[in-house]
Structure 1
Amino acid sequence: MPDREKPAYIEFRVGDDADEFGIIDSQYAPEGMRPGPGGAILYWHVDDIEKALSRLKALGATEHDPLTKRGETGFVTVSVLDPFGNILGIMYNPHFVELH
């Protein structure tokens, strides 16, 4: 995405469940994110992203990158900072729901 000549996002599918490893162009990084090591955000699929986000906030996390709809397929992401300053990304991806 958006095209082969200038990709913004590249994904690799790994393993029996076709787990996704994605690399996103830094131009789409959350505002204020510093370049270099530590700039990667690992996203975990959850079945209910709003419920998972609420639980993370209840446990002390603060929103890092807001809940964002990615395209028209139902793919949604959000990231938080845990109480120790680590970034945790969660996503809802219809692809994973179809697999199970």
Structure 2
Amino acid sequence: MKQLFAYEEKAGRIELFIRIIYSFIIGIVLMIYGCIAGICMFIQFFVILILGRRSRGLSDFIQGYLEYYVHILPYTFFMTDERPGILPTSVIIYEEEKV
């Protein structure tokens, strides 16, 4: 398991400039994906209202958007130089509860 928001001291200057263009492309993909996920959330609202249960397909699509968004955050917010893929990939995110 890899921590997404871990501190990395080393940073590449060239990667900083590549990141501007790469982040722009990722932003376009994220915007399109987000619009479709928003439509799915709207439809999901009515599915829950009418049927009293969630649609698995809509839920999976919305979850995929959220996982992709969290997956690209470390790169777009200068936390790491490791580039995420432009197209969404399957990423599982866990929340660790501290006791």
With normalisation by structure 2, the TM-score equals 0.24
Structure ranking higher in strand proportion? 1
**Which structure is richer in relative contact order (CA contacts within 8 A, separation 6 or more)?**
2
With normalisation by structure 1, the TM-score equals 0.24
Structure ranking higher in helix proportion? 2
